[in-house]
Homo-oligomer: A and B are copies of this chain.
Amino acid sequence: MTTLPGPEPARPRATMRDVAALAGVSLKTVSRVVNGEPGVSTDLVERVERAAVQLDFRPNLGARSLRRSDGRTATVGLVLENLANPFSAALLRAVEDVATTRGVAVLAGSIDRADERERQLVAAFASRRVDGLVVMPTAADQSYLMLERRAGMSLVFVDRPPHGLAADTVVASNTAGAREGTEHLIAAGHRAIAFLSDVSGISTGQDRRQGFVDAMAAAGRSYRREHLVTGLTTMAEAEAATAALLGSEHPPTALFTAQNLVTIGAVRALRAAGLQHQVALVGFDDVLLADLLEPGITVVAQDPTSIGHLAAQRLFARIDGDTSPYVLEVVATRLVPRGSGEIAPSQSV
């Protein structure tokens, strides 16, 4: 910890008034130039621009938004599960890319599975008058957002649909993807397949479980109750649950893990038991380095970048006044075989 000199004296920000005074024009002319409105002589445009640069003028978007008839702030909010999770981070990045092309800034926040945080974040962003919100719904009910939408805030949901409210939503093909992943394990000859997922109250987990159940039923496979594990909120819990399954009286010969952290937890447990080459595994959502493990982890990959791009495009269409019916967009998942999902059932079971 090294020290350096401290802050220098303050100098207040220049306003349009200051710029006008320096350029020798009226306030309104500055406003016209700053907003690129037509009908200002090139001479004045130049004088104003020079004055603006000289004073390091930054238009006050808060004041603009306050006065404008549409009230736009050129800011949108992102309410995601956890900004540190690779899936959320990729989503944020994708929304940012679209927003940037429109001069829109992005506020972001993490819910962390705490229902009240979702409402707190929405309230915080609403107080800042964001033009729109991209939400990964986590609370049991999103009908409270109807009021915000009526007040002019556009809404798009990602990863899973909202409850108690109709709205544009962009999701991955959860059920179909989970079905495909499960079928892949069935095709490899497995009968005892366990399903592990995160919080069950969230529809992605439910949809993926449905896909698993559908595939098992279609193949005429039954499964044990205890092979259906939900509510795994951390990687450590997933690891422990997997270890318990592997050590149980009727261990599964294959695992389907429904979320990225659950997948990693399961891999750790398999390694710890030395079973990574005996027990098959297919995970939902891809992970960096998954292809370099031995065996590589077979996954049903999502496309968070596409989901984010589509969500942002929907959002800005609404902000621009699109009043067409709400749509549910489903982004295809893709099965990526890498080894772990192609392991045949071990003879010992």
Contact = CB atoms under 8 A, between A and B. Distances in A.
Interface of A: 1-13, 56, 58-63, 65-66, 73, 75, 82-84, 86, 89-90, 92-93, 96, 100, 103, 105-110, 123-129, 146-147, 149-152, 166-167, 264, 267-268, 271, 287-290, 292-294, 318, 323-330
A128 B61 contact: yes
27 contacts: A1-B327, A1-B330, A4-B327, A5-B326, A6-B323, A7-B318, A7-B323, A8-B149, A10-B151, A12-B152, A56-B151, A58-B151, A60-B127, A61-B129, A62-B66, A62-B129, A75-B128, A93-B110, A96-B110, A105-B125, A105-B128, A106-B107, A108-B108, A268-B292, A287-B288, A288-B289, A294-B294
B326 A4 contact: yes
B96 A89 contact: no
Contact of A327 (B3, B128, B166, B324): B3
Contacts of A146: 8
B264 A150 contact: no
Given A4-B326, A62-B73, A106-B107, 16 more contacts: A1-B328, A3-B327, A3-B328, A4-B167, A6-B326, A8-B146, A8-B150, A13-B152, A58-B123, A60-B66, A61-B127, A62-B62, A63-B66, A83-B96, A84-B90, A288-B289
Contacts of A124: 103, 105
Interface centre among A103, A105, A293 (most CB of B within 10 A): A105
A294 B271 CA distance: 11
Contact of A83 (B89, B147, B326, B328): B89
Contacts of A103: 124
Contact of A151 (B6, B11, B108): B11
A304 to B, nearest CB: 9
A86 B93 CA distance: 12
B287 A325 contact: no
A267 B293 CA distance: 11
A270 to B, nearest CB: 10
B109 A106 contact: yes
A63 B62 CA distance: 7
Contacts of A152: 10, 12-13
Which 4 A-B residue pairings sit nearest by Cβ, starting from the closest?
Answer: A62-B62, A84-B93, A4-B326, A89-B89
A110 B99 CA distance: 12
